Amino acid sequence: MSVATDPALLVYFTIVGFCVGSFLNVVIYRLPAGVSIISPPSHCPECGSPVRFYDNIPLLSWLLLWGHCRDCGGSISSRYFFVELLTGVLTLLVVMKFGVSIASGIFLLFVWGLVAVTFIDLDLQIIPDEISIGGAIAGLMISPFMPTGFENALIGAIAGSGFFYGLAILYPGGMGGGDIKLMAAIGAFLGWQCVALTILLASLLGSIIGISGMLFFGQGRKSRVPFGPFLAFGAIVSLLAGDMMISAYLSNLTPHY
């Protein structure tokens, strides 16, 4: 029975994803602040009380405590729950596509990094170099052992970052340095074929969100919107469905007689 149809394995990897999501909440909060992601242990953001082990169960603890600290009753953001849920779902989807394999493990690290990038960029409009530059280096180093191959990964990293670097020169202030470095990481992991698709999907979603903001929330055209979350969305969709989308597009270009 394959992992894609084995309920026990699917449940196991989903739970692993929930647990990783709990850790990512720590990374999202501490990494930009330059605080250790290992020590001190998790604590209440309001009163600083350490979180008991039985109050640190992904998803369940937040639900059982109704999103509040057991000690001070302070509110704990629902985003903690959402990050854990999102990470679990994405972990499940990656494992269903790539099975229990080296590729699956590598792409899980990639997707988990993109989850962290998304919420850090939403909070602070920055993308930590530890994830972007570190991801680009890691992607290139492991590419010889992946179907992508080193040449494909190198071209992807150069093409992705180079395209955004060109935009930054043409439109100063329109593209941040973090986005440029993030695209290098995305290109290194996904290869050049998925770079264009990632940018297309990110731009499409960004346009929809931007126009919606102007129409329904009164945001101006110059309102700054972090682009990292859109790139993360485009990269994850490209990873999970890019081969099908590109094949469908190419088939439509082929003349039918």
Could you write out the DSSP letters of every residue in 147-195? Answer: TT-HHHHHHHHHHHHHHHHHHHHHSTTSS-HHHHHHHHHHHHHH-HHHH
Nearest residue to 122 via CA among 209, 14, 54: 209
Phi, psi of 118, rounded to the nearest 5 degrees: -55, -50
* 224 pLDDT more than 80: no
Asked if the peptide bond before residue 255 counts as cis, ω within 30 degrees of 0, the response is no
How far is it, in rounded angstroms, from Cα 83 to Cα 86?
5
Angle separating helix axes 78-98 and 228-253, nearest 10 degrees: 30
How far is it, in rounded angstroms, from Cα 253 to Cα 93?
29
The pLDDT, as a whole number, for residue 220 is 59
Which residues make beta-bridge pairs with 75?
Answer: 68
The pLDDT, as a whole number, for residue 219 is 66
pLDDT band at 2 (very low <50, low <70, confident <90, very high): very low
* 107 pLDDT more than 60: yes
The pLDDT, as a whole number, for residue 52 is 85
Q: Which residue has the tokens 């695209």?
A: 183
H, E, C per residue of 12-34: HHHHHHHHHHHHHHHHHHHHHHC
How far is it, in rounded angstroms, from Cα 213 to Cα 232?
20
Q: Tell me the pLDDT of the chain averaged across its residues.
A: 89
Q: What is the pTM of this model?
A: 0.91
Domain residue ranges in the chain: 1-100, 102-113+126-257
| Residue pLDDT, tens place only, 9-24 | 999 999 999 999 999 9
